């Protein structure tokens, strides 16, 4: 089984590239937000716990998200691997993921990081806000905060995975096809 982690700042094209990656390599895409919504809709024990916390205005603790991901690893069998998007976001989550995978004698295959400069992040988020009417992407303050949050949360993970020999960076400034080709060239090595 392959276990890929997809990194990249807002606007890097993760959603676009994830679709192609899942299709070409027969992966199950795990987006933590979508996973929470699925578990809640299915009425699973973890989903009910998450719903109660969300309804109370609380954050869903790492253990709940980790439990949902672990359940998927155990139950989804018709794929060649998983593409994690939005998890891990902290060193503690990365260590928890390593523990979960070690239980099945597995490990993270690679981190695929789509990198673009901060100025391009701003341009792409503004463009997306205009096209999709996303008010959450329109404010300069919000955009700057999202970039800062991304750098603050991701940089320690980059070092964590780089030290483990699992980190690979893709230049995300090219066309969709150029970025996709670079990702596929990288993934074909694993």
Full set of structural domains in the chain with CATH: 2-187 (3.40.50.300)
Which tokens in the block code for residue 144? 């700057």
Q: What is the pLDDT of residue 144?
A: 86
pLDDT band at 134 (very low <50, low <70, confident <90, very high): low
**Quick check: helix, strand or coil at residue 72?**
helix
Percent of the chain's residues with pLDDT above 90: 56
Looking at per-residue confidence, does 153 or 111 come out higher?
111
Q: Which residues contact 151 (CB under 8 A, 6 or more apart)?
A: 9
Instruction: Give the tens place of pLDDT for each residue, 5-58.
Output: 999 988 899 989 999 999 999 999 998 878 888 888 999 888 888 888 877 877
Q: Is the pLDDT of residue 169 over 70?
A: yes
For the chain, what is the radius of gyration of the CA atoms? 17
Q: What is the pLDDT of residue 114?
A: 96
Q: What is the pLDDT of residue 126?
A: 83
Tell me which residue of 83, 89, 81 sits closest to 65, measured CA to CA: 89
Which tokens in the block code for residue 121? 């992040």
The enclosing H or E element of 30 equals: strand 27-31
Q: Alpha helices, DSSP H only, in 76-165? A: 91-103, 118-132, 140-163
């Amino acid at each position: 089984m392959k276990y890929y982690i997809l990194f990249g700042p807002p606007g890097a094209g993760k959603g676009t590239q994830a679709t192609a990656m899942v299709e070409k390599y027969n992966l199950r895409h795990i987006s933590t937000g979508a996973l929470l919504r699925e578990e809640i809709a299915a009425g699973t024990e973890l989903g009910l716990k998450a719903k109660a916390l969300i309804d109370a205005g609380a954050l869903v603790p790492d253990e709940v998200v980790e439990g949902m991901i672990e359940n998927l690893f155990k139950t989804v069998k018709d794929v060649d691997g998983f593409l994690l998007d939005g998890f891990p976001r902290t060193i503690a989550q990365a260590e928890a993921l390593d523990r979960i995978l070690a239980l099945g004698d597995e490990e993270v295959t690679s981190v695929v990081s789509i990198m673009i400069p901060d100025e391009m992040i701003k341009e792409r988020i503004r463009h997306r806000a205009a096209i999709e009417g996303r008010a959450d992407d329109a404010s300069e303050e919000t955009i700057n905060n999202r970039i800062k949050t991304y750098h603050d949360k991701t940089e320690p993970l980059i070092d964590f995975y780089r030290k483990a020999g699992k980190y690979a960076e893709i230049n995300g400034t090219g066309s969709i096809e150029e970025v996709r080709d670079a990702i596929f060239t990288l993934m074909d090595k694993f």
